[in-house]
Structure 1
């Protein structure tokens, strides 16, 4: 019998390979989220304490990235966010995403882009995970209510038109979440990833109202190391 994480990957492939078929996409996406809702750290054999204990403190990064599965259609990965650290505010252009916390608690601040302000790609640098910098660019967005999510909660999701920018911060200790994205980021082009901050970052705007986000360079305090996936083998079987 296939493991739960393998069934999640197979359902993700089934869902996003039929993205253009609106009559079945919504049903498949709901099935995918329902499977993701069930995921725990045990399902991917993740032990945060053991992983962190194996790393010399002087090399410890704010975030550890674990690749679970990746192809041209979908990426499935695990992010471990160290205590008090965060993934800075970033976008998911033209993407669907599902985020399932599998350990600890995270605080998520999401934004919904109001308009897709076209801009020419001229990166000043490219960071790890294909997050790209830009200069003097802004994005109008609606600031959504902040949420706290832990391993007992269901999966969160984003779409190309809803909650497609977010910042994720660990709360009261380290946290980990499984991330499903489709289509994947690309290094250069319209699906590259950009970092942002609120225009008046020192005095954040109220929720449920329009705010202006500014593209910023990759925050120097953010970087990630990588760890090896040690969960069940993912064997893709066409369906």
Structure 2
């Protein structure tokens, strides 16, 4: 009788372990969802709203431990030097349809204002306090044709606030949602990004950087809470350094 009880216990334990082994990791779920969402899309096509919500839901439920990160790692150490400290880039997965990566920012780390041409981008702040400023082009605004210099172009400010983890992931689109954005780390920060499709110079998806210049809108109606800024293309900042490092979190099994 005792042997039978032990055997049943062993069988139950084996089944339980098999169930655990079959449970996909969070990063595996993210990869599989990205493949389903972006796999059949033409470059520049925005996913259907239900697919956007599905992918966003996966990201919303992820945290730093799902990708093997914590604020004590060297990527996030405070560095005392002139200019901005370097940013660390962790490449998790990339194909022609989408990419998954993480940006690790130490305190005062800055990713300058830049664009995402023809791309839908999901960003999840895994930990830390980070200031985000984002803009979209405001070509329909009357002042958009009044630039003194042809390199200036009017943009509407969509986001200008401090984010504190845990928080929902954000989504930006090719022409809406804050396609151009800037990140400034107040504390050690980790940002998990999904880009669909990824940057590609040959395909016209080149990363462009901008300076934002003051704009005073004299046509704003009382109580209207809309802000604008002039954007001017610039070269990559000399003190903006991105260092590549090996991703050491749970791996992705391609299928």
Normalised to the residue count of structure 2, the TM-score between the two structures is: 0.75
The aligned counterpart of 1:76 is 100
Give the C-alpha shift of residue 208 in structure 1: 2.2
Let me know the Cα RMSD of the aligned residues.
2.9
Partners of 2:130 and 2:162 within 8 A in 1: yes
Q: 1:165 aligns with which of 180, 185, 190?
A: 180
1:42 aligns with 2:57: no
**Structure-1 separation of matches of 2:73 and 2:138:** 42
Among 183, 187, 191, the alignment partner of 2:205 is 191
Structure 1 residues 53 and 155: alpha-carbon distance in aligned structure 2, compared to 1, 3 A threshold:
closer
Structure 1 partner of 2:230: 212
TM-superposed deviation, 1:198 = 1.4
1:13-92 correspondence runs (5 A)? 13-19=35-41, 25-52=48-75, 61-92=85-116
Q: Which has the higher contact order (CA 8 A, sep 6+)?
A: 1
Name the CA distance, whole Å, in 1 between partners of 2:88 and 2:67. 15
Matched, 1:8 2:30: yes
Number of the residue aligned with 1:107? 131
Equivalent position SS for 2:159: coil
Pick which of 204-213 and 216-225 moved more: 204-213
> Partner residue of 2:244?
226
Contact map agreement 1:158 1:164 (CA 8 A) in 2: yes
Q: Which stretch of the first structure deviates more once superposed, 78-87 or 182-191?
A: 182-191
Runs of 5+ unmatched residues, structure 2: 1-22, 141-149
- Provide the C-alpha distance between the structure 2 equivalents of 1:23 and 1:52, rounded to a whole number of angstroms: 33
Confirm or deny that 1:175 pairs with 2:197. Answer: no
Q: How many residues align?
A: 214
- CA–CA distance in 2 between the matches of 1:24 and 1:63? 30
Quickly say closer, same or farther: Cα 1:160–1:23, change in 2 above 3 A. Answer: closer
Q: 2:163 aligns with which of 131, 146, 149?
A: 149
Whose radius of gyration is greater, 1 or 2?
2
For structure 1, the residue ranges without an aligned partner over 5 or more in a row are: 117-135
The C-alpha deviation readout for 1:144-164, integer Å capped at 9, x for no partner, is: 231222221010110011110
* Deviation of 1:35 (Å): 0.5
Alignment partner for residue 254 of structure 2, among 202, 227, 236? 236
Structure (1 or 2) with the greater helix fraction: 2
